[in-house]
Structure 1
């Protein structure tokens, strides 16, 4: 090949690569522009909800529980307790921090269920103001226990211990393609549980740890209507969020048996919270086309 031919071939190759890169750049810009437009449309939709209306961004309703996330159940229970008007949004369930649920209120985004509750309690209704310092400390300890400990035990059961993820299939809707993502999801959750600590123990050891948590709640609740006394407060939202999922979203699990048979006062507690704040519970559940799992 002559020098001219060699240089011509290189030039043609560079031109082809340049054309390809240009096409890829244009496509990337188009995707970015579409995402920006879509985000702006959603923002306009959320802002149109009205003053003091909470737009609750969540994963959606389930077949047996209004939220397929314990933290969604926790947060909406508080919003109902506080008397907020609520607009559910399932189009953008994940916040900028990668957490769900989150809210938009009067154009301001807030994330993390506990931080949201604390912020709204400080600026609207505080249902724990009547508690003594000692009682508030106890309530805080129970909230941390269920959100940071009991929750991970539930996660382990639903996505790792349960080999066919039957609880998820029986209680919530999800796209059929999600099944192909389960191996990756399980790998990520296994790593997260190992880092958290519960992933380092056997199923029997984890069950014993979970039983202690559940028994502690049952013992402290006793015969009281709500955890801290005659009236519900913020901590009840966290307790209900987790126990509600053990009761309604963990069929056939040993934890369902604990709540319904070993510590029946917890089942009655959940039913009281449901009756008090969720009179429309059955109406808003997602209705499966079939009772059979996917």
Structure 2
């Protein structure tokens, strides 16, 4: 199937190609925005083929010198490199790396801000003095492309302005599109780039875990025969757990997140599991995260 695009009623664009479902918004002069959208569309059409050609290597653990040649593939590998002491493949950063590739089309003069939302992993462009609201969607199992297209009731919000060293947002958890080793409903990370946020969210979500026989796990290869995780057990079902177990799992993830923050790999993170949440609370703090759904936010970007 060839890449397809549709312009939405509010002016955003929806790009789709294979597993990639991307929603793009931008503000600025109409001519600059239109040119950037066209440039992004031309670039988008070639990305999937580039990744497929290097897919066997992209599914291998990160180690040694980078063996990849394509710009998106190399970005994936380098985003995952800080975590190579454990098991990680470049696929942990694929969605963020694709979004980051496209946001480069929106850095031209005349564009004040842009956001590339690749299934909840987001790359940002912010001109000086510009800002964006980032909507936190805690249960990513409920988040699909229809919600991204039509508007989402968020559980919390971030405000990211151009002065912050944040141009990427990513969310991971056992309920999401990709496999997770942990039990987090969601881990949302703000980082320097979208690829770096994607890799870090994966790592932190894996760390939100607790030993309990009621948690159902299966080898990844039994769920998807070509999974890059092979026989590693991934989480497929988490029953309601006692609050103290949930807290223990969140604290384990928070320790990992704080280590990454101290190393300069992330700016902040919010970890959510069964109604509880924890945050590293760096700079861009969560404005609200409670039992009620926040109001719909027109023009927001949703993680």
TM-score by length of 1: 0.30
Structure with greater proportional strand content: 2
Structure with greater proportional helix content: 1
